[in-house]
Amino acid sequence: MMIVMKETATEEEVRDVVEKIEGAGALAHRIRGSRLSVIGAIGDVEQDASVASLGLEGQPGVDRVMPILKPYKLASLQMTHGERTVLDIDGRKVGGENFALIAGPCTVESREQMMQTAHAVRDAGATMLRGGAYKPRTSPYAFQGLGREGLMLLAEAKAETGLPIVTELMDIGDVDAVMEVADVVQIGARNMQNYPLLAEVGRSGRPALLKRGLSSTLDELLMAAEYILKEGNPNVMLCERGIRTFENAYRFTLDLMAVPVLKELSHLPVIVDPSHAAGRRDLVTPLSLAAAAVGADGIIVEVHPEPDEAICDGPQQLRASEFAEYARAVEQAAALAGKALAGKERVLA
């Protein structure tokens, strides 16, 4: 159930409604829009029925009471009345008219590799630095990431360049260590439906980049986001990274239609990962341009000083020496969709 307050509703009237909802056993999520307050009453079937029987329509300050039509509630665009969420990651905005360029290696390998990459991407205008310290690998015999040592190198790279860090959390057991370093915690495609992990990230309040599962529908992605939002963490970015289809000429099928459709369904920012979809460097630039032009709120892309020497995902990583040219092209494509690269100095309100 969604309770839309009048523009003139007082703080006390809003509080009254919240108390009534909580009294009926449901969660009351208040969303403060620029014009009006909306309160989402979120509960199971029984709690929904109790809220419905409260007669909130007649309550002072209440404009309308409406059912929430989608199975995901807090993630739905209906819930914010069409207002879009804009995240603020250490001064870098994500969403709205801002375009986030998140770049860095697949995995943290060494101090030299991290520093070289971090400087190259920062100087070219990247807004955040990515790098995995814990890697979800298909083979248990493949390199699994440097773990805590990798996290320390990410922290060093941040101290040196000022770039916020995006890194993956795979295991609840590593939550404290990862949260010490991550400005944005990445939930990998393979963990999209790891519900205890999602709830933990929700409780942490830390901005999250939630990747779409390899074979997940958009509804399933939004339900996964709901697990994070439900714990009171509104800072979620959705990420399209390619899905498995019958086509096997490339690694995954980058579903760019997901961008406008997710925006139709949800208020959350949408990021595209062209690297893992393509699996090939030569496809990364055209896919990035298409993603930016179709209205993505940002791109997360893999970059390495020497991709041929990379421990993992070498064939798809952009060369750090070519990144500045890439960033300029992406910036132009983003401008077609009315967005500008949101570095710390160039944040758009």
Cβ-based nearer residue to Mn ion, 79 or 303: 303
Cβ-based nearer residue to Mn ion, 297 or 313: 313
Give the footprint of ligand PEP on this chain (CB under 6 A).
106, 132, 136, 168, 188-190, 211, 241, 273, 276
Supply the minimum distance, in Å, between the C-beta of residue 275 and ligand PEP. Answer: 8
When CB distances are held under 5 to 8 angstroms depending on the partner's kind, the choice from Mn ion, ligand PEP, none that residue 267 binds is: none
Place of tokens 């000083």: 305
Cβ-based nearer residue to ligand PEP, 59 or 144: 144
Cβ-based nearer residue to ligand PEP, 40 or 132: 132
Supply the minimum distance, in Å, between the C-beta of residue 302 and ligand PEP. Answer: 8
Q: Which 8-state DSSP code applies to residue 74?
A: T
17 near Mn ion, rule: CB under 5 A:
no
Cβ-based nearer residue to Mn ion, 106 or 126: 106
168 near Mn ion, rule: CB under 5 A:
no
When CB distances are held under 5 to 8 angstroms depending on the partner's kind, the choice from Mn ion, ligand PEP, none that residue 211 binds is: ligand PEP
DSSP string, 92-155: EEEBTTEEEEEEE-SB---HHHHHHHHHHHHHTT-SEEE-BSS---SSTTS----THHHHHHHH
Give the burial string for 244-274 (b: 16+ CB within 10 Å, else e).
eeeeeeebbebbbebbeebbebbbbbbbbbb
Supply the minimum distance, in Å, between the C-beta of residue 260 and ligand PEP. Answer: 21
Alpha-helical (H) ranges within the chain are 11-23, 45-52, 111-123, 148-161, 175-181, 195-204, 218-230, 258-265, 274-278, 281-293, 323-336
303 near Mn ion, rule: CB under 5 A:
no
When CB distances are held under 5 to 8 angstroms depending on the partner's kind, the choice from ligand PEP, Mn ion, none that residue 202 binds is: none
When CB distances are held under 5 to 8 angstroms depending on the partner's kind, the choice from ligand PEP, Mn ion, none that residue 136 binds is: ligand PEP
Give Dmax over CA atoms of the chain in angstroms: 67
Cβ-based nearer residue to Mn ion, 86 or 154: 154
Residue 335: left if φ>0, alpha if ψ -120 to 50, beta else—which one?
alpha
Cβ-based nearer residue to Mn ion, 141 or 246: 141
Q: Which 8-state DSSP code applies to residue 253?
A: B
Supply the minimum distance, in Å, between the C-beta of residue 130 and ligand PEP. Answer: 7
Supply the minimum distance, in Å, between the C-beta of residue 258 and ligand PEP. Answer: 13
Query: Which of positions 67-126 make contact with Mn ion (CB under 5 A)?
Result: 106
Closest Cα to residue 19, out of 3, 32, 35? 3
Cβ-based nearer residue to ligand PEP, 91 or 136: 136
Supply the minimum distance, in Å, between the C-beta of residue 279 and ligand PEP. Answer: 10
Supply the minimum distance, in Å, between the C-beta of residue 306 and ligand PEP. Answer: 18
Instruction: Specify the pairing of strand 37-42 against strand 2-5.
Output: antiparallel
Angle of CA points 204, 41, 31, to nearest 5°: 60
What's the CA gap between 10 and 12, in Å, rounded?
Answer: 5
313 near Mn ion, rule: CB under 5 A:
yes
Alpha-helical (H) ranges within 190-257 are 195-204, 218-230
Supply the minimum distance, in Å, between the C-beta of residue 300 and ligand PEP. Answer: 7
What's the CA gap between 205 and 300, in Å, rounded?
Answer: 21
CB 41 within 8 A of CB 2: yes
Which residues contact Mn ion by CB under 5 A? 106, 313
